[in-house]
Structure 1
């Protein structure tokens, strides 16, 4: 029963991590496309809050419940899909602090534009582009991790199972 409860919490945390993260990402993209500093400032403020208070704790819960599930199931950390997903998770997680910092900068730049009555400048676009591409990399990693959670296979194992030949 403990295993099933932990698995439930693990899946819910994955939904929060992925769902809130993706929602925040898409809302800030949509807000930035308006080029309206007032809209961007409001949305960026909410994105920073959600990512700080919901998405980040969900990631920590993922680590804790994943570790406990691994221990309860008797699987070693060296199990290929577990080790691969942990490495990808840590890589994606290492992008998280820069993403939060960039989101706070986008918020500050939008607030400054509102306060001064100016348009957003090239610096905003530069910071936004960095944030955007870090999001692409991060969410690609998250898609792969969810695939491994479901299939218990690494991407290489999936490719091998599908009979797709390596080009290397």
Structure 2
């Protein structure tokens, strides 16, 4: 019963992590495409708030419940799919704090544009591009992790099975 409770919490945390993260990502993309600093400020503030208070804690819950699931199931950390998913999770996580910082920076830049009555400049577009690419790589890693959670195989093992 403990295993099932932990697994449920782990899956719900994954849904929050992935869902809120993807929602934030898409909303900020849509807002930035308007090139309207007022829209961007409003959306970026919400995105930063949600990512700070919902998405980030969900990531920590993932780490704790994943570790506990591994222990309850009696699986060693050296289990290939677990170790691979942990490495990818840490790589994705290493993108997270810079992404959050860039989101805050985009918000401040848009806010300054609103206050001064100016349009967004090349610096905004440069920061946005970095943020966008970090999101692409982060979500690609998350897709792979979810695949490993479901199949209990590494990408290499799955490809070998399909070929």
Q: Give the TM-score category using the shorter length.
A: over 0.9
Q: Name the counterpart of 2:90.
A: 90
Q: Name the counterpart of 2:160.
A: 160
Give the superposition deviation at 1:24: 0.1
**Which runs of 5 or more structure 2 residues have no equivalent in the other structure?**
none
Q: Distance in 2 between matches of 1:54 and 1:7?
A: 19
Is the counterpart of residue 54 in structure 1 residue 46 in structure 2?
no
Secondary structure of 2:125's match?
helix
Give the superposition deviation at 1:88: 0.1
5 Å matches for 1:128-167?
A: 128-163=128-163
Q: Distance in 2 between matches of 1:123 and 1:52?
A: 24
User: How big is the alpha-carbon RMSD for the aligned residues of Structure 1 and Structure 2?
Assistant: 0.3
Q: Name the counterpart of 2:34.
A: 34
Q: Name the counterpart of 2:120.
A: 120
Give the superposition deviation at 1:46: 0.4
Give the superposition deviation at 1:93: 0.1
5 Å matches for 1:5-20?
A: 5-20=5-20
Aligned length: 163
TM-score by length of 1: 0.97
Give the superposition deviation at 1:42: 0.4
Q: Name the counterpart of 1:78.
A: 78
Q: Distance in 2 between matches of 1:26 and 1:71?
A: 36
Give the superposition deviation at 1:116: 0.4
Q: Extract structure 1 runs of 4+ deviating beyond 2 A.
A: none
